[in-house]
Every structure is written in structure tokens, then in C-alpha cells.
Structure 1
Amino acid sequence: MAEIAIDPTLGPILARTGDERAVLESFLDFHRAIVMRKLHGLADVDARRRLVPSLTTLAGLVKHLTLVERNWFSGLLAPEPGEVYQHTEEKAAAGFILDDADTVQSLLAGYERACARSRAVAARFDLDHVVPHPHPLLGEVSLRWILTHLIEETARHAGHADILRELTDGSTGAL
């Protein structure tokens, strides 16, 4: 029997009586979906447009969040050969810098791949699984903490994306 795909914006509603993992994962997927929806239908030039003094653009937010996903799940939780957790502010800021090859389509596809990989990595561990973090203040972090941090990070940038999209064409809201 084919699996029915559920709109991720319904996840938090469907998980309202679910276990902790279902709630955490549904809220993260909810905010991921909002970020992706903010780019849908935009021309590349509009997604790249700087509307605030910083490097923050709609395209840059998606590129940054792609790096955040890779960093926390692949780079820290389950690195493959050659993958390293990047923990400097300079490297985090570099995620907002766009290359000529960065298009709405390529950025969304890359983000979707990174999120799918993050889900697969997270599925291998229980919420109490702990890994060392290179920042001395953090010491060790659990998968629970990583999921909560990614919800916070993605939600914050979804809010930025909402404002930028409204400034671009007047479109607002999560849906």
C-alpha cells in the first residue's frame, strides 16, 4: 500500500497528542515547510533581492538553513568521512552569501535533500543520544536539544522569510 504524504503544515495539529519525538519532529517539519513555501513562485532575482541592510535575502535564508541542517545532523550527530561541524560565526555568516549557480530551484532542492538526510540521521538515535559539541560552554548535546535548537533556528528564520516575502510581493502567512 502506498504511503500517504501529509502536508507538513498539518503535522503539529496531528501530533497534538503524540509522544515527545512526534511533537518535536512535526514542529521542525512545519517550520521547514514554511521556509520552503516562502520561496515558491519567486523569480531568482526576487529571492536574491536585499531588502534589509544585512546579507539576509530569501535565497540566503534557505542556503543558510541548508548549512545549519547539514552542520547539526550530519556534521555533529553522524558525520561521514570528510564532514566536520563548523562552529565559527564567520562560517555561519558565509551561508548567506549566494553563488551565481544558486537559483530558487537549486536552493529548494538542496534544502529538501538536507532535511531528508537530517530526518534519516535523527531516526537512527533516541532523543537521549548525546554527542560532544566543540563549543566549551555546551559540552555535550542530546538529539532532543538538537531538535529543539533546530526548531528555534528554523522558526526564527521562517519569521525573517515571512517579512522579506511580504516586502517582495505582499504575500504573508504560514500557508
Structure 2
Amino acid sequence: MLGGMSGSDPKADLRRYLGAAREAVLWKLDGLSEYDVRRPLTPTGTNLLGLVKHLTGCEIGYFGFVFGRPFEPMPAWLTEDAEPNVDMWATADESREEIVGLYRAACAHADATIDALALEATGQVPHWPAERREVTLHQVLTHMIAETHRHAGHADIVRELVDGTVGMRKGNENLAPGDQAWWEDYRNRVERAAREAGQR
């Protein structure tokens, strides 16, 4: 749970928001089959386990490489000569347990970096433009909060398409109250408004 900002410990506030996003992404896998966590549900192939795999690489890169704290062992798919988009989907041979375990390990490695360094500590993001390449831990934490919450939003939509499950996190769906009939009526009202606006 996020709660309020501490006001006196900016690093703790940033960690809390990053932690909430990490938990939200993993929660979206709960109760699904191997097929459903992997199936592509957009024209660009977005899928739940692929989002976790991608975020694993982000955690390793931004909190590892950037600050000279390499993660070991390095996943084979996280190399410069890897095929495009290999981090956005899981092969049949990559188990859910393997990918989730690697994500948890990458997050623990990232947390160790966050613990070890001051927010003002600097690092280099090699794939960013030269004028923005030097970053602080504060900037990287902010970037990863945005990155992880962005993909948590993708996961929200993909999970809803899989089985209708919605919500921000377990125990806090953060949705308007209503049963299935209410939501069907609501969606129909939104559709009618869209059609009416489109005909003007």
C-alpha cells in the first residue's frame, strides 16, 4: 500500500512507489494458465509474462550497468546481439517461475543499489543521448517508477482482455462500485456517446 509521502525521506517515498508498481505487475499473473500469461493480445504482441521479462531487463540495466554494479548471471537474452524484442515475450522453454524468479532477483539487486548509493550518486546510461547520459540515482528511480507503472497499466488492460479481472492491486481494485449489469450499461453509455460524437 502506498499511503502518504513521508516528507522526510525522499528515497523511501520513491522506493515505495516503485515497489507498488512491481507488485501490481506480478499480481496480474496470479491464477492464469501458462498460455494466458504468454498469449499476445495486441497487434504488437503485448503479453503479461513478456512485460515482466522486459522489466527484469530494465531493473538490471538501470540499477546495475548504469551504476557499475553488474548483475550476475546475466540473462542470455540481455546482450547487445540479442534479436529485437526478445525481452518482450517468453519462449516455450522459459518457465513462468524462471522469469518471475529472475525479476525478483533483479529487483533485489536494484534495491541493494538503491540502499548503497545516495540519491545524488551519478551513473551513465550508455544508450541515452550524450547530453542526458549522466544521471543520478534520483533520476533513475523516477524513470523506473514511470517505466514500471506504464507497463503495469499495459498489464491491467491485457489481464482484463484475458479473463475480465481488473483492479489496481489485490484488495484495492480502485474502481467504481457496480455489478456486471452496471458495467455493461456503463460501457454501452460510453459507446453511445462515442458514436454520437463521431456523427457530428
CA shift for structure 1 position 14: 5.6
TM-score normalized by structure 1?
0.83
Q: Which residue of 2 aligns with 1:122?
A: 114
Matches within 5 A, 1:1-175: 10=1, 12-13=2-3, 15-80=5-70, 93-134=85-126, 135=128, 136-175=130-169
Q: Which residue of 2 aligns with 1:6?
A: none
Q: Distance in 1 between matches of 2:103 and 2:69?
A: 18
Match for 2:166: what amino acid?
A: T
Give the count of matched residue pairs: 162
The answer to whether the Cα contact below 8 Å between 2:51 and 2:89 also exists between their aligned partners in 1 is no
CA shift for structure 1 position 21: 0.7
3-state SS, counterpart of residue 85 of structure 2: helix
Larger Rg: 2
Task: Provide the identity percentage.
Answer: 35
Q: Distance in 2 between matches of 1:81 and 1:147?
A: 17
Give the gaps of 5 or more residues in structure 2. 170-200
Match for 2:59: what amino acid?
A: E
The answer to whether the Cα contact below 8 Å between 1:15 and 1:26 also exists between their aligned partners in 2 is no
3-state SS, counterpart of residue 141 of structure 1: strand
Give the gaps of 5 or more residues in structure 1. 1-9
Give the RMSD, CA atoms, in angstroms. 2.3
Match for 2:88: what amino acid?
A: F
Which contiguous aligned blocks of 4+ residues in structure 1 show a shift greater than 6 angstroms? none
3-state SS, counterpart of residue 153 of structure 2: helix
Q: Distance in 1 between matches of 2:27 and 2:35?
A: 17
Aligned CA distance change for structure 1 residues 31 and 126 (closer, same or farther; 3 Å): same
CA shift for structure 1 position 113: 1.1
CA deviations on 1:28-60 (whole Å, 9 max, x unpaired) are 000000000001211110011111011211010
CA shift for structure 1 position 132: 2.4
CA deviations on 1:11-32 (whole Å, 9 max, x unpaired) are x216444521111010000000
3-state SS, counterpart of residue 3 of structure 2: helix
Match for 1:78: what amino acid?
A: G
